Amino acid sequence: MGTTALGSKHSLVVEGLRAEVAGKEILKGVNLTLQSGELTALMGPNGSGKSTLAYALMGHPKYKVTAGTVLLDGKDLLKMPVDQRSKAGLFLGFQYPQEVSGLSLSKFLWTAHMQRHTAEDADAVRFDQDLKAHLSFLEMDESLLKRSLNEGFSGGEKKRVEVLQMATLHPLFSILDEPDSGLDIDAVRAVGETVAKLHRPDAGILVITHYQRILKYLKPDRVHVMVDGAIALSGGRDLAEELEAKGYDWVRLGIPGASA
């Protein structure tokens, strides 16, 4: 969740980020820059630290940052509590969205909206109009709004609801953690096309994935490869195709001291 200043240029700059989980270091000096208007892909094998990076940036208490800096438009993101990171413009789409029985999707979205508005400036009528417009734009059924959050939703519906949140909250930077995880070919295409529709010139998107398949629909501007807790290789969208063909071992072998 987050906010945005339309028409502005924004940056999220990560330098030397180190983080640990339960005393074990996972991130070992991550350097990454995201710019508004760009769609960036972060790829890498299991256990390389991609999801840890996402949660550390969002401020999950399980992930302890031990070194490095993260600046969102020059402001120290790491000093902000989770809710302030959201208000500053950071959004995280989960790999495994949780089901919440008894809480409708519409109520959940309204609550998230209210977290960054006062009762005086929140316009319920405008919010409802915008929400229905987003549903139409994303070709999603309005009946989803009345259902409990993610309860009984298919894998594809859960991931598209994450994207609907992104559309509703207008973040500056969205981090989507494996939006293609567990989806069949048709659902991957639907989610990929949905994300692509929301790619705005005044905001940036970071898509974390293992595979090139969803990137066919997203067409990333930049592709980074994470291995053993750090960015090991960067390039354009053709790098994703090379990874699909060769796997990740050839990247590992190019890192001093690393082994396949």
**Quick one: pLDDT at residue 3?**
43
Q: Is the pLDDT of residue 98 over 60?
A: yes
* Reported pTM: 0.86
**Quick one: pLDDT at residue 144?**
87
Count: domains in the chain: 1
User: Per the domain annotation, does 104 fall within a domain?
Assistant: yes
User: Per the domain annotation, does 67 fall within a domain?
Assistant: yes
User: Per the domain annotation, does 6 fall within a domain?
Assistant: no
Query: 151: phi > 0 → left, psi -120 to 50 → alpha, else beta; which?
Result: beta
**Quick one: pLDDT at residue 120?**
59
Q: For residue 19, which phi and psi values (nearest 5 degrees)? A: -150, 150
User: Per the domain annotation, does 1 fall within a domain?
Assistant: no
Average pLDDT along the chain: 87
Beta bridge partners of 30: 17
Q: Which domain holds residue 35?
A: 11-253
CA distance 251 to 109: 41
Which of 167, 172, 171, 218 shows the shortest CA–CA distance to 11?
A: 172
User: Per the domain annotation, does 2 fall within a domain?
Assistant: no
Lowest-confidence region among 111-120, 124-133, 144-153: 111-120
Give the confidence band of 111 by pLDDT, cuts at 50, 70, 90.
Answer: confident
Dump strand ranges (E) for the chain: 11-21, 24-35, 39-43, 63-72, 75-76, 90-93, 100-104, 148-149, 173-177, 204-209, 222-227, 230-235
Lowest-confidence region among 199-203, 236-240, 246-250: 246-250
User: Per the domain annotation, does 4 fall within a domain?
Assistant: no
CATH number for 118: 3.40.50.300
